[in-house]
Structure 1
Amino acid sequence: MADAESAEDWSQLADVHLDVIPRTEEERARIAAVTAWPTDFSAPWAFEENSAGAQTVRARDTADAFSQPAENLTFEQELAFRVGNGLFRRVWVSAPSSTLASDGLGPLYNARSCQRCHLKDGRGHPPEGPEDGAVSMFLRVSIPAPMAETERYIAGTHPTAPDPVYGTQLQDFSLPGHAPEYRLQIDYEEIEVPLSGGETATLRRPTYTAADPGYGPLHPDAMLSPRVAPQMIGMGLLEAIPVEDILAWADPEDADGDGISGRPQVVWSDVHDQPMLGRFGHKAGNPTVLEQTASAFAGDIGISNPIHPAGSGECTDLQTDCTAARDGGNPEQGGFEIDRTGLDLVTFYSQTLAVPARRDVNDPQVLRGREMFFGAGCAACHRPNYVTHRIAGDHPASFQLIWPWTDLLLHDMGEGLADNRPEGRADGREWRTAPLWGIGMTETVSGHTYFLHDGRARSLLEAVLWHGGEAEAARDAVVEMPPEDRVALIRFLESL
């Protein structure tokens, strides 16, 4: 058991994954000035168009808009990006195979490649019909666990344990001779929401069922939570935001009385063997892009790696046919199905996918929408900008002014969005604030406009209307604002 800080003591949290050059007092003053929120909403703000600083690329009107390398990569770094892209797109096959570098799929899996969930490096979506298949969506699963039975328990967390048969993630595909774990069934209930000006919106409330369980019933206390694959852009920049700058916005007891109680997620890092700030995943369950990548290889594709070494992926000890299956461990790769070199290349690719530049920043309607965004209180969680760490070497994320529109903290989003499944410090109503950069290009890249952690929202307006809990006041402000201001708000979001 690794006891960490108390629930409110974050002094041990550090960015040990980066070779940080400490800021000087002069730099701190410059950063405070450049990240201060302007009060003039009549014109674009300085540097606002360059969402990712020097990494920003021209916004394309094609589906590959999220698949470009960061603008400031060196020649050698762009080569690494290209090789990582190849591994990200690699279609894995079952073992044994003549293609030793590509075998080891499953036996249980959700997709055969990273690209299959993160289509064009964009958002996934729920299945759109019974024949669609949930290739970019799955259900997480866990059961309550006594604190004493939880390894590496961190104070302030909600102890959970894997389902004894199904583990922590349900896989809906399997190799021949193995049963898939389930079939994802989604039933929607339509909800009408009245808006100002005589307008109405219709939301769809989902109910999720793990139908046709392949290994017997789930545990009676099993808690299910849906997950749609998020977009990939800007992850290395989010990883480079100083932990102290994120914690500066945390207010777990709402000491300032503004109704916003952002809390940091704290997770155990298997790589650094200590507690770290969680940043990635819908509940910020991973501290670094490397650990997020390794978890996805193991859970989504069933590929062993140095961080998750099991050759059978996410199979549990009670799935004996699964654990006994032949795996693709390769002696030339340290016995893993992807070694640290390959894992690092996919991680680098994921870290350096560029963020497109803002569009229409001078448009009067976009400017009005930005004013509505701040006026409604949306920026209390969707914080606009940061300056990343100064990092030794030629690190592409070093010392950039970025505009991700997130605080990376956990917030109570109300009963409507609750999955009632704790994860680390996040309770069943809390979610990490999603970054908004690139959100207006979702349809261009992904061919749909489904948002939120489970894709239930079919438009940006629906996504706003699902906000509750700490965001209820902001949501109500949007409901009540004049229709033309509501349209302007959406236009602003579409410009991000």
Structure 2
Amino acid sequence: MPSSTPPKWQRLKTNIALAAAFAAATPLAALDLASRYQAEPHLSPLPRTDAERARIAAATSPATDFTAPEPFEDLPAGAATVRARTDDEAFSQHSATLSFAQELEFKLGNGLFKKIWVFSPASTKASDGLGPLYNARSCQRCHLKDGRGHVPEQPDYVSASMFLRVSVPGPVPPELQEISDYIGTAPDPVYGTQMQDFSAPGIAPEYRLQVAYEAFEIALNGGETATLRRPSYTAANLGYGPLAEGAMLSPRVAPPMIGLGLLEAIPAADILAHADEEDADGDGISGRANLVWSREFNRILLGRFGLKAGMATVHEQSASAFSGDIGISTPLFPAHAGECTAQQAACQTAQHGGGDSRETEIDQPNMDLVTFYSRNLGVPARRASGDPQVLRGKEVFYAAGCPACHVPKFVTHRLADRPEQSFQLIWPYSDLLLHDMGEGLADNRPEARATGREWRTAPLWGIGLTQQVSPRATFLHDGRARTLLEAVLWHGGEAEAAKSRVVALQPQDRAALIAFLESL
């Protein structure tokens, strides 16, 4: 197998340096639209010096030697890396960079993340306001042990960590019309933007999610085969009549929570330096930034979070989940009825936990604690990075072209107000950009700029501990892949060539690739 790296790597170091210099030197009014999306109102970064930019370019250069681990490779979150536990708490540790006072803040946020919300009225006023429609009673019940969710169990199909997004075609809002390829959508007029399968007493749930699988085999080089599962999804037992004509459904399994604050601290210019929308270098990879409306900052920002990069900040992602997943109002999403629509009268008039001294069911100080907790769940240290099989697997990973999307390294902003995430060399193995993953993984539901075939590159750090944390967890956006090899074999579209190289590997090299992924 050739050990050369993809062509895109040859210019990334230069692109990152030029983008950072351009953003620092050019007034905002003079920047074109693409450059204006580098704005980061959620951060207060200090400017990088020329010397720092040179250090960063050297530190984030792609690997060329696969005989030993790279410097600091065992610390995927830099100084924030936590020890790799061997139990189901591996994703539940706080970042190693927190001060003693911040550890208390983290623990308070953890309590709110695990809090079991109850229906109104309740004697426990601090915990009432659940629903009336919801998918889970706590954040922890979606993000199991701060890790991945799982698909529903048959025969009753109950799951608090998977649901269906829903939307219908709609107009592009005026504030987003400057983005020429923004795809207009609207909530389903009855079911909103998310299907909820649980409800308060006396109120009908919206549906019951049903999943069926069709198995098929793929032949692999060396006489091996793999069995994949092609899923189909049904929104059964609809509680409020049929979905609107043209309704688009997208299954979503809750992703892991680790390292989010570090992803938020990556300079937007460095992310955009990896974009190649027109595939100028001809390597078949054309990552695109999702550009979304931030309710938090009332402007267009670079999307980073969610399976299609539909949210710009950890705080907005968290507040949106409180509203959609649990039915809890927040200052950013103040509707007490959560996702209930005007067509769901009983839901709209149900008693809620707001009012009087509680304008929303969770207030901003408590939302700040949840956000701090979500930003500071630690990334575990690498395991066996120097093992010969793991090193061979890393070489295979590079030779197959995987780093063209799963970009190994970034350096975060230098942040005076967030020292816990400041100026860290991190290894998320994601470019946080959108890529066409082919018809096999398409959900055919757009989100902002993301088409129905595009997904944000999933970060790979910690992926080897996924099933240690939650034994029933599976992989990809809808959990169809039971193993990491199955997840790789579902790649298509821009990743078709890389997947084909994996299929063509000798069995021992395919096993080495999986060993490398399991070490992350």
What TM-score do the two structures reach when normalised by structure 2?
0.93
Residue equivalent to 1:273: 298
C-alpha RMSD over aligned residues: 1.5
Gap runs ≥5 in structure 2: 1-28
1:182 counterpart (177, 182, 207) = 207
Partners of 2:46 and 2:356 in 1: CA distance: 38
Specify the alignment match of 2:92 in structure 1. 67
1:128-277 map, 5 Å: 128-147=153-172, 152-153=176-177, 155=179, 156-277=181-302
Residue of 421, 446, 471 corresponding to 2:445:
421
1:324 to 349, 352, 369: 349
Structure 1 pair 103–5 and aligned structure 2 pair: CA distance change class (3 A): farther
Aligned to 2:331: 306
Q: Does the 8 Å CA contact 2:252/2:477 hold for their aligned counterparts?
A: yes
Mapped contact 1:51–1:357 kept (Cα < 8 A): yes
Q: Distance in 2 between matches of 1:244 and 1:393?
A: 20
The AA in structure 1 aligned to 2:385 is V
In structure 1, distance between residues paired with 2:171 and 2:83: 51
Maintained 8 Å contact 1:449/1:459: no
Partner Cα separation in structure 2 for residue 370 and residue 309 of structure 1: 47
The DSSP-based 3-state class of the residue aligned with 2:105 is helix
Which among 283, 290, 315 is matched to residue 290 of structure 1? 315
- CA pair 68-201 structure 1, distance change in 2 beyond 3 A: same
Report the alpha carbon displacement of residue 415 of structure 1 after superposing the two structures with TM.
Answer: 0.1
Q: Which amino acid aligns with 2:169?
A: P
Partner of 2:410: 386
Aligned counterpart, 1:466? 490
1:394, CA displacement in angstroms? 4.8
Does the C-alpha gap of structure 1 residues 8 and 15 become closer, same or farther in structure 2, counting only changes over 3 Å? Answer: closer
Task: Indicate if the aligned counterparts of 1:100 and 1:330 stay in contact, CA closer than 8 A.
Answer: no
Percent identity over the alignment is: 66
- Secondary structure of 2:501's partner? helix
Asked if the contact 2:148–2:473 (Cα under 8 Å) also holds between the matched residues in 1, the reply is no
Displacement of 1:392 after TM fit? 1.2
Q: Cα offset for 1:153? A: 4.3
Residue 484 of structure 2 aligns with an amino acid whose one-letter code is: L
Determine if the alignment matches structure 1 residue 490 to structure 2 residue 498: no
**Aligned pair partner of 1:315 in 337, 340, 345:** 340
Q: Which runs of 4 or more aligned residues in structure 1 lie more than 6 Å from their structure 2 counterparts after TM superposition?
A: 4-8
1:336 alignment counterpart: 360
Alignment partner, residue 359 of structure 1: 383
Whole-Å separation in 2 of the counterparts to 1:477 and 1:180: 46
Amino acid at match of 2:393: G
Hey, what's the Cα distance between the residues in 1 that align with 2:341 and 2:400?
47
Q: What's the secondary structure of 2:228's corresponding residue? A: strand
Q: 1:135 to 1:318 in 2, by over 3 A?
A: same
Partner of 2:458: 434
TM-superposed deviation, 1:129: 1.3
Separation (CA, whole Å) in 2 of partners of 1:437 and 1:492: 11
Shift of 1:6: 12
Which residue is 1:447 aligned to? 471
| SS state at 1:286 partner | coil
Change (3 A) 1:438 1:208: same
SS at match of 1:143: strand
Q: Distance in 1 between matches of 2:440 and 2:145?
A: 30
- The CA deviation at 1:459 is 0.2
- Confirm whether residue 120 of structure 1 aligns to residue 145 of structure 2: yes
With 17-26 and 282-291 compared, the bigger mean Cα shift is at 17-26
Match for 2:147: what amino acid?
G
Taking the aligned partners of 1:284 and 1:6, their CA distance within structure 2 comes to: 23
Aligned length: 491
Distance in 2, Cα, partners of 1:393 & 1:8 = 28
Q: Deviations over 1:58-106 (max 9, x none)?
A: 1000000100010010111110000000000000000111111100000
Which amino acid letter does the alignment assign opposite residue 508 of structure 2?
Answer: E
Decide whether the 8 Å contact of 2:176 with 2:182 is kept in 1. Answer: no
What is the distance in 1 between the residues matched to 2:418 and 2:404? 33
2-side partners of 1:327 and 1:7: how far apart?
A: 46
Superposed displacement of residue 37, structure 1: 1.4
Of residues 452, 456, 471, the one that matches 2:480 is: 456
The alpha carbon displacement at 1:449 in A equals 4.8
* Aligned residues of 1:13 and 1:275 also touching (Cα < 8 A): no
Question: Per-residue deviation at 1:191?
Answer: 1.4
TM-score (norm 1): 0.97
Q: How far off its partner does 1:7 sit?
A: 10
Aligned partner (choices 367, 376, 384) of residue 400 of structure 2? 376
Quickly say closer, same or farther: Cα 1:323–1:449, change in 2 above 3 A: closer
Check whether the contact 2:434–2:454 (CA below 8 A) recurs between aligned residues. Answer: yes
Q: Separation in 1 of the partners of 2:329 and 2:32?
A: 33
CA distance in 1, matches of 2:425, 2:328: 36
1:89 to 1:425, Cα distance in 2 relative to 1, 3 A:
same
Q: Deviations over 1:134-163 (max 9, x none)?
A: 21000000000133x666445121100000
Give the alignment partner of residue 348 of structure 1, picking from 372, 377, 381.
372
**Cα pair 1:104 1:329 within 8 Å, conserved:** yes
- Between 1:268-277 and 1:440-449, the stretch displaced more is 440-449
Amino acid at match of 1:364: P
Q: Which amino acid is 1:30 matched to?
A: R
What SS does structure 1 have at the residue aligned with 2:89? coil
Q: What is the DSSP-based 3-state SS (H/G/I as helix, E as strand, rest coil) of the residue aligned with 2:455?
A: strand
In 1, are the aligned partners of 2:166 and 2:194 still within 8 Å (CA)? yes
Report the Cα offset of residue 131 of structure 1. Answer: 2.8
User: CA separation of 1:331/1:395 partners in 2, compared to 1, >3 Å: closer, same or farther?
Assistant: farther
